Amino acid sequence: MTRLQRRLAALGAAGRKALVPFITAGDPLPEATVPVMHALVQAGADVLELGVPFSDPMADGPVIQRSSERALARGVGLSQVLDWVRAFRVDDADTPVVLMGYLNPVEIRGAETFAAQAAEAGVDGVLLVDLPPEEAEGYRQALGRHGLVLIALASPTTPPSRLEAVCAQAEGYLYYVSYAGVTGASRLDVAEAAGHLAQVRARTRVPVMAGFGIRDARSAVAMAAHADGVVVGSALVSVLDGSQNADEAAARARAFLQPLRLALDGGPVAA
């Protein structure tokens, strides 16, 4: 089993919901990326999604757009992101890391070269927002040759025929976009998302993580009732913004995520 499969299987066996935080690599400060990754694990993260800064993040709202812009302005690119994963692996050989981003940086290297470099750095999976499932097979095969998985996405607007194909292709986990829109919007309708999630979970053999609109412990618990786990991104990125040094960023990350972990494990949910 891969590192990601082991972690998800252990969560399933224990009846626990996965907590998957997203951060943009290089933001709020390049030197804070690895300390924040470790702080999130200490606070209860099960899988880390590490955003690769990109100039045209079409699926992202203003918070993550600005975080990408800040990271790019500091010269952060894919090579540096992979270096940070290597540095993280020095002290953490167990927590799965998924790179989340867009196709262009992968295309520049070529799928095979990218897959080899990502695997060597310690990456476990890749989520490419703008890669259509109809064009994904070559990338999936290249990643698979190096032990990585290509994370699939589905949304409320995915038609039934395409949903069947996406669910059949899904590896590692399936990322379910909880509403039609960009990241960070305040439009989460848990009841509506629950119906779609039931359809997705009935069609796929891998765990389903609900993302978009998860902002705090209350929304995390509400969505986790209908999914195998939750992804939290914009709210965390917003909390990190403005940190003056790596220690402050790590402390903010830890303080933000701990209440979500506690609530997902059955603890109290703050009003």
Active site residues: 49, 60
Extract the tokens encoding 141: 């095969």
Nearest to 228 by CA among 211, 245, 242: 211
Q: Residues 104, 102, 107, CA angle at the centre, nearest 5°?
A: 25
The 8-class DSSP code of residue 213 comes to S
* Rounded distance between C-alpha atoms, residue 29 and residue 118, angstroms: 22
CB 159 within 8 A of CB 134: no
* Rounded distance between C-alpha atoms, residue 48 and residue 50, angstroms: 6
Strand 97-101 with 48-51, pairing: parallel
Distance from the Cα of residue 52 to its chain's centroid: 11
Extract the tokens encoding 58: 């079409």
Instruction: Report the 10 Å Cβ neighbour count for 215.
Output: 17
